[in-house]
Structure 1
Amino acid sequence: MKNILLLGGTGFIGKNIIESFATDKKYNLIILSRNPYLVEDSFFSEKNIIIEIGTLADTDFINNVIIKHNVDVIIHLLSSLIPSSSNTDFYDAMSNIVIPTFKLIDFIANKNIKFLFFSSGGTVYGNATSIIKETTMLNPINNYGFSKQIIEDYLRYKKNICLLDCIILRPSNVYGKYQAFDGNQGFIAVAINKIFNGIPIEIWGDGNTVRDYIHIDDVVHILKKIIDQSIANVTLNLSTGIGKSLLEIINLIEKHMSKNAIIYFNKKRSVDATTVILDNAQLVVLIPHEFISVDKGIKDQINYFNIVLKNAN
């Protein structure tokens, strides 16, 4: 049985990881949370889930958690930034996320603990004119992507000078269950909510911005395989390899909701890459997998939206 420390378990990706891993008794899951009220109530009843209340910035606390629970694997999802985050937000993230992550990496080096870092396939590469391989030069164009690159660089540096088992995952645009419909990121979820409520969708640019969307169920499945198969010391694009424009996504939502969107177009922002399609060839060689299509994924997301609405009423 593997003891897994999850950093960032109260976000949308983290909640899906917990829900899946909780039903699989191969894992003990230790969840770091700064606030117990952010953790789903149902997770507290699972015998293989432990909640530790604290922050990554509390270095001594984190180190003690790792020792106390004999942690084998760390999954790092933490980030306080989004692509439009300001310089002030970035400085806060450096203090509260990036530097503490450096200290965590220092502590686990030479301890035979696997470190899985969720970077960002959508922002670390910047603008690209062709499909993006893991070997493509990193060129972030916003603070979120730059913060991820900094941590990636530190991992590569530490691997050169000590024994460090780490995997860097660069997910494309992840969507699915638990994603906030009224949030400030997650285009598919936000668009579903706005189309349902007749709220205009604000698009920066002409709507032809292309992204590679991957369903959260695919992400969790691949994550389990990476842990179970003992894959080590590799950087992987976590993607379907298929691009869709914002307007194509809106058209699919309109089709499944039988409702037209109201769209407002604004001037393109410099923090948004025009096209991001990630090459997943290396991923599917290691982990053969049939991905959920965006069409089916959007249909499932609309069904989940209807469940959330029903429960709210």
Structure 2
Amino acid sequence: MDRDYLWVGTDKGLNKVDLHSPNASIIQYTAGDGLGSSVINTICVDSPMVYVGTPAGLSYFDETKVYSSDYCRLTWLDISSSGQSLLRDTNHLGLSYRQNNIRFEFVGISYKSAGNILYRYRMLGLDTAWKTTKEAFLDYPTLPSGDYELQLTAINKFGTISRPLSLRFGVSTPFWRTVWFVTAVFLGVLSMTWLFVSLRIRRIRRVEKEKERISQRMMELEHAALQAQMNPHFIFNCLNSIQQYIFNQGRFPGQQVHLRILQTDPGQLCTARARPSSLCPTRSAICQAISRWKSSDLRKKWTTLLTWTPAWTIMPVSFRRC
């Protein structure tokens, strides 16, 4: 204890503690400053002389003649990314998104500090808080896209702060995160959605039209079926009228006329089988009825087969045209 200072010896050097300093500043003396060893065994202070016993012997010095400060200078050693040095051009430093790693190497020069230098740094764009380290390098293995600025200072053991170093650089944005790519993807998705909806609506409309066409066709078929069911009754009624007409002539009492209707191809002619005979006085009447029938729409779907059978004989007659 010497006035306002407390001398403390450790195995890492001699420490001078300023008791009246707000932060209790400490000045350290080691073998690099001229002591025989950094391991301090005993201390004797006889102002202004300080005697220090070390394993290497006795060391002494006048504390008034020891400089309590030293010049501190900070400089870059190397700046690299993916093993490639970038120190030659730091004014326009930029990294691609594939090589978003960077390593800074630097050194603080203070001869009397003997390497006992503290570094303060912060990376703006990533963090705004100041951090400290005794390592002479900073390594950022993965940086997101953006703009950054590294601020760095060195402090020697006397508390002297170096001139700060500042370096600005940027990491490029991947193309899939750019505004134009996102806009293009959005427009593409919007177009695909519109196309899908349009095709879907068109398909639904086509299905509805097909359903309407099938429904219309079914109605037509049902109508045709109903018409086909009604036509035989109409024809039978006509033939019954013809048969009644024959009977009303009274020329062949007791004879029977059998009329059959067969469904055949529309292109066939009306055919009646029998052998011509002078005993067929109703032939003209039957032909007139058949002519009227053939001129109607029923001729397109039906062909008539008529068989006239008298009670006492069968006389087939073939009618090609009536």
Higher fraction of strand: 2
Output the TM-score relative to the length of structure 2.
0.17
Higher fraction of helix: 1
Rg: which structure is higher?
Answer: 2
Structure having greater relative contact order (Cα 8 Å, sep ≥ 6): 1
